[in-house]
Amino acid sequence: MSDVKGKRPYRSTLREAGARQTRQAIVAAASELFLDQGYTATSLSGIATRAGVARPTPHAVFGSKSAILRAVVDQALAGDDEPIPVADRPWFQPVWQATDQLGVFTAYAKVCTLIGARAARIFDTVRQAADDSAETAQLWQQVQDNRLAGARMVCRRAADLGPLACELDRAVDVIWVLNDPCLYGDLVHRRQWSEAAYTAWLATHMGTVVPAPHG
């Protein structure tokens, strides 16, 4: 009996690893299909085929196509499926570590470039899918709300280091406009800007909410 009991955690770990692998295969397949043919034209059966799983599996794992889209967006923003908030990830830490206001926004511009490279195309997909159903409309609104919350968090960090050049809400609005991954799509993908040029442009415009140096 002791041998049987000892194997249960191992078997449980294997099951969890298998479930995660299946989930990841579905998310990866869905991401490819959403980007290639759009949200509306993508079916759960098509996702299953691309992922190499049984046809009922995507619905069994996620419950709906819109839930899969949400998972695709989450992973594009975070870079993986680990349950770690963006603000706690290593690549976000320079925002917290900056010792002056311009340093905060320069670091955040780099974060926005990193996220834009991963998420610009899927953001376009979500925007286009917003009219498809109440669920996708809700996802698009949540995406906008999350960007606003991120902008407010960064502006408050900058305000901790000194007064801003405008009221906090106005600064938040400016940064919210600039942290949109769709801007990366427009300037880097469509207009062929380099990432370095895009990051510098973001940092310059984000820096407008910081008071100009005296003298």
Q: What residue ranges do the domains of the chain occupy?
A: 1-63, 65-215
Chain mean pLDDT for the chain: 94
Q: Selecting from 2.30.30.110, 1.10.3720.10, 1.10.357.10, 3.50.50.60, what CATH number does the domain 65-215 have?
A: 1.10.357.10
C-alpha angle 139/144/148, rounded to 5°?
Answer: 140
Q: Which of 41 and 5 is assigned the larger pLDDT?
A: 41
Q: In 10 A of CB 194, how many CB atoms?
A: 10
* Alpha-carbon separation of residue 129 from 42, 61, 134, 135, 177 (angstroms): 11, 21, 10, 10, 21
What pLDDT is recorded for position 214? Answer: 62
**What pLDDT sits at residue 2?**
45
pTM for this prediction: 0.90
pLDDT value for 92: 98
Q: Same CATH topology for 1-63 and 65-215? A: no
Per-residue model confidence (pLDDT) at position 215: 47
Fold of 1-63: Arc Repressor Mutant, subunit A (1.10.10)
Q: Encode pLDDT of 136-170 as tens digits.
A: 999 999 999 999 999 999 999 999 999 999 999 99
Mean pLDDT in residue range 89-111: 98
- The single-letter code of the amino acid at 57 is T
Q: Cα(51)–Cα(36) distance, rounded to whole angstroms?
A: 15
